[in-house]
Structure 1
Amino acid sequence: MWRTVGCMLGMDRCPNNIWQYFSWCYSFLPDGEKFYTFGLASLCWAMRNCCNRTTFELKKLGSPFNVIYVVCGYITYWAGLMMGEDREAMERGAKMLRINASNMMCICAALGGNN
Structure 2
Amino acid sequence: LTIGADTRSVMFSQYFWWVSRYLPISRNLQIIGVAAICWAIWKIHNKACFEKKLIRSPAEIVCYACAFLIYWAGLQNESERNNLLAGAAALEAEALRHHEGQAR
TM-score of the superposition, structure 2-length normalised? 0.83
1:23: Cα distance to partner? 2.0
For the pair 1:92 / 2:86, whether they are aligned, the reply is yes
C-alpha distance in structure 2 between counterparts of 1:56 and 1:84, whole Å: 38
Q: Percent identity?
A: 28
1:15 to 1:50, Cα distance in 2 relative to 1, 3 A: farther
Give the match for residue 32 of structure 2.
38
Which SS does the other structure have where 1:23 is aligned?
helix
Deviation per CA, 1:28-71, whole angstroms, max 9, x where unpaired?
11343221100000000000110110111101111111000000
Give the match for residue 3 of structure 1.
none
- Segment drifting more, 91-100 vs 19-28: 19-28
Which residues of 2 match residues 1-115 of structure 1 at below 5 A? Answer: 9-12=2-5, 14-106=8-100
Give aligned pairs, total.
100
C-alpha distance in structure 1 between counterparts of 2:52 and 2:4, whole Å: 33
1:103 to 1:11, Cα distance in 2 relative to 1, 3 A: farther
Unpaired runs of 5+ residues, structure 1, are 1-6, 110-115
Unpaired runs of 5+ residues, structure 2, are none
C-alpha distance in structure 1 between counterparts of 2:87 and 2:37, whole Å: 13
C-alpha distance in structure 2 between counterparts of 1:58 and 1:26, whole Å: 38
C-alpha distance in structure 2 between counterparts of 1:84 and 1:30, whole Å: 17
C-alpha distance in structure 2 between counterparts of 1:85 and 1:63, whole Å: 32
RMSD, aligned CA: 1.9
- Segment drifting more, 10-19 vs 55-64: 10-19
